[in-house]
Amino acid sequence: MHWIGWIEGPQDTPYAGGKFRLTIDFPVDFPFKPPTIHFITPVFHPNISAKGEICLDILHSQWSPALTIRGLLISLCSLLTDPNPEHGLNKDALRLYRTDQQRYNET
């Protein structure tokens, strides 16, 4: 199954007011395997690659069949609000986030 949707940028973040399109692809053995989620809209973020790949543990090693799509989308919004500076897919965004958060927030 393949879904296309969007999330709104969380308030009080550099993404506020933005609408970010994404795809959700469900494997045949969902919910025992996690869906694959990619951003279609480019997002400058330490944990989101230029290809829209997302570094979020619950989409990989911490997946649980008890997780819901609603919960995943809430986690994505939380990731936009609070990036994980320990793991990054976008090295430029990660470097800027670690060294100059004010400039990162303006980008």
77 is catalytic: no
Residues 6 or more apart whose Cβ sits within 8 Å of residue 45: 79, 80, 83, 90, 93
Sheet with 2-8, side-by-side order of all strands? 2-8, 19-25, 36-39
Residues 7, 55, 59, 72: which is the catalytic one? 55
Enumerate the active-site residues: 55
